[in-house]
Structure 1
Amino acid sequence: MLNRGLYISATSLIANQRKMDVIANNIANMNTTGFKKDIPITESFPEALLAKINDKPDSDLTATGQNQITYENHGEVHIAHTENGYFMIRTPMGVSYEKDIRFIVDDEGNLRTYYKNEKDEYKTDGENLILGRDGNPVNAQENIEGMLEGMVYYPNRNIIGTMSGGVKFHKIVSDFTQGDIVETGGKTDVALNGSGFFKVQGEDGEVLYTRDGSFAINNEGILTTSDGREVVGRQGQININGDSIEIRKNGEIVVDGAVVDSLDIVDLDNKEYLRKVGDNLYRMLDGVNGEEIPFQGEVMSGCLESSNVDSIKEMVNMISLLRNYESCQKAVRTQDEMLEKAANEIGRV
């Protein structure tokens, strides 16, 4: 059987390597127009029950009437802690046994863990379910505290606690906060002051989104991104044939004094489903439709939005991550030395 400490240290090394890749990519794009930094998210493996072998615990957790929970409610958020027993949480990797839980009630009445989007709204998609004592999801009741009391799971007498199997890399989240606006003077350079995206024509009619407004006019007089993809207007393809070009604050494109089209700029109510596809472009996750809402910001002509990467913070994060990586390496080395002694010295006895 693999030494558990060795396994936990190894999972941390793998997760730290992935986090380092994300930070390195952020630093590499610190001067990329409209780039949004990525944030690596890690999570622990489920807490598994730990049992004594051929021994008895000091107390009987299966006894009724001895458990007490503490409960707090802050708006939509519910927080609970149990002294005896455990709350069960269903995760993609199995059931986790926890002393502390924090959740909200979703639209279907289930108790779920949560996260907040860029609008500070609570979201539960892809989150974990809080389970009842029988291992099944429960619907919220008016008395949440009393319901939680009845949801506590009491394990067998030989259970003395829980232990995690380590940490894993969960996902990458893009930070869509506004970058600095830099004046360039370019006639086709455009920046968005506010939450929103330019729409770009992808392959096979796919709609892509970008914050990079460094546009150009190709040989056919069509407005494109810097890498040649067509920028989408309210009327479709944007044709610019003229000498004088002006892009107004509302996105209207004026050529030789006449309005020819408007930039199709939208905001998205479900940005959390956007995924980077390269070339500073985003697309919606497969099977998810973009919930487009009107753009409420301002179009700034002759300007570009800089990256929102803070180089100093990213370097500090990298140094901290390197130190953590070194600590995990030492832990692996220590575990290896213990196994060597167990094999070579204890074995001789």
Structure 2
Amino acid sequence: MNSGMYSALSGNIAAMKRMDTISNNLANVNTPGFKKDKMTFEGLITSATTPPAYPQAKTADPIMQKETVYIDYASGPVSQTGNTLDVAIDGDGFFAVSTPSGTAYTRQGNFRLTADGTLVTTDGYPVLGQGGQISIKGSKVDINAKGEISVDGTAAGALNLVDFPKPYKLTKAGSALFVPSGAPAATPQPAKAEVRQGHLEGSNVDTVSEMVQMIENNRYFEACQRVILSYDNMATKAANDLGKL
């Protein structure tokens, strides 16, 4: 394959992957506690003396070697809701929740109660306290800055707020759930953050910024596509002209 065409095709593939990331971010702009994904690319100039993992020509071919997707853990905007079961984390840390696959972590604090009084996430996963699942049976629920819960003036447990060493080695297990990754997996530690009852952290996706990136990405894709068509036209013209000789 022509080296220039190969570079343009690499750019098209990269643009499509970036579009998937941007689209997912925009789809979760209203998901509480969602952390946006970002993508970076690493390019490499290869030649006959440094064989790449992809087909190469005799001349140096700039190719897209790999892409890296990482999570932006920046805090989202916090809004006051007045809902007693909405809790936002002020600082670094995560809520611990129980899932069928084990313990997961989230900053999505729009909790609710099941029929039996178990505190759960919007997906129905039990929220873990420092002594296990949290059961709330009463009318007046108060949660202080330390995450301690009292119901009608009686202690009912405390939210299990945890944090991990930075940089975070976590992977997404859902729209707003995270699990430790790597070997060995990071061990959660008590978080130093505080909680704010009646508040909710929103998604950290900036709609305007994502739309600008989408426009830039589309233009880049179109530019790569025009390069491919140009090389294809040149190859067609060369073949036709050579056939006349």
TM-score after normalising by structure 2: 0.91
What's the counterpart of residue 21 of structure 1? Answer: 20
1:47 equivalent to 2:41? Answer: no
Q: Distance in 1 between matches of 2:130 and 2:238?
A: 72
Q: One-letter code of the match for 2:224?
A: C
Q: Distance in 1 between matches of 2:141 and 2:107?
A: 21
Deviations 1:87-142, CA, capped at 9 Å, x for gaps:
x9x99x59xxxxxxxxxxxxxxxxxxxxxxxxxxxxxxxxxxxxxxxxxxxxxxxx
What's the counterpart of residue 163 of structure 1? Answer: 61
Q: Is the 8 A contact 1:23 1:318 kept in 2?
A: yes
What's the counterpart of residue 180 of structure 1? Answer: 77
Deviations 1:272-293, CA, capped at 9 Å, x for gaps:
4211122421112264412323
Q: Distance in 1 between matches of 2:154 and 2:65?
A: 56
1:3 equivalent to 2:28? Answer: no
Higher mean C-alpha deviation, range 216-225 or range 286-295: 286-295
Q: Is the 8 A contact 1:273 1:288 kept in 2?
A: no
Which of 1 and 2 has higher RCO (CA within 8 Å, sep 6+)?
2
Q: One-letter code of the match for 1:200?
A: V
SS at match of 1:191: strand
Deviations 1:177-201, CA, capped at 9 Å, x for gaps:
1111100011110000111110110
Q: Distance in 1 between matches of 2:130 and 2:149?
A: 11
1:268 equivalent to 2:157? Answer: no
Check 1:288–1:348 CA distance in 2 against 1; reply closer, same or farther (3 A cut): farther
Which structure: larger Rg?
1
Q: Distance in 1 between matches of 2:65 and 2:115?
A: 49
SS at match of 1:330: helix
Q: Is the 8 A contact 2:33 2:76 kept in 1?
A: yes
Q: One-letter code of the match for 1:291?
A: T
What's the counterpart of residue 88 of structure 2? Answer: 191
Unmatched segments (≥5 aa) in structure 2: none
RMSD across aligned C-alpha pairs, in angstroms?
2.2
Q: Distance in 2 between matches of 1:284 and 1:192?
A: 19
Q: Is the 8 A contact 2:104 2:177 kept in 1?
A: yes
Deviations 1:39-88, CA, capped at 9 Å, x for gaps:
012222x432358xxxxxxxxxxxxxxxxxxxxxxxxxxxxxxxxxxxx9
Q: Is the 8 A contact 2:7 2:61 kept in 1?
A: no
Q: Is the 8 A contact 1:182 1:303 kept in 2?
A: yes
Q: One-letter code of the match for 2:127?
A: V
Q: In percent, how many aligned pairs have the same letter? A: 37
Q: Distance in 2 between matches of 1:255 and 1:168?
A: 56
What's the counterpart of residue 104 of structure 2? Answer: 208
Q: Distance in 1 between matches of 2:2 and 2:47?
A: 17
What's the counterpart of residue 118 of structure 2? Answer: 222
Q: Is the 8 A contact 1:50 1:163 kept in 2?
A: no
What's the counterpart of residue 108 of structure 1? Answer: none
SS at match of 1:345: helix
Q: Which runs of 4 or more aligned residues in structure 1 lie more than 4 Å from their structure 2 counterparts after TM superposition? A: none
SS at match of 1:14: helix
Unmatched segments (≥5 aa) in structure 1: 52-87, 95-159
Alignment of 1:14-163 (within 5 A): 14-44=13-43, 46-49=44-47, 93=53, 162-163=60-61
**Cα offset, 1:173, TM superposition:** 0.7
Q: Distance in 2 between matches of 1:49 and 1:167?
A: 14
Q: How many residues align?
A: 242
What's the counterpart of residue 150 of structure 2? Answer: 254
SS at match of 1:253: strand
Q: Distance in 1 between matches of 2:224 and 2:45?
A: 20
Deviations 1:196-243, CA, capped at 9 Å, x for gaps:
110110114x11011100001101111000111001110011111112
TM-score after normalising by structure 1: 0.65
Q: Distance in 1 between matches of 2:110 and 2:21?
A: 25
SS at match of 1:278: coil
Q: Distance in 2 between matches of 1:200 and 1:260?
A: 17
Q: Distance in 2 between matches of 1:336 and 1:182?
A: 54
**Cα offset, 1:161, TM superposition:** 7.8
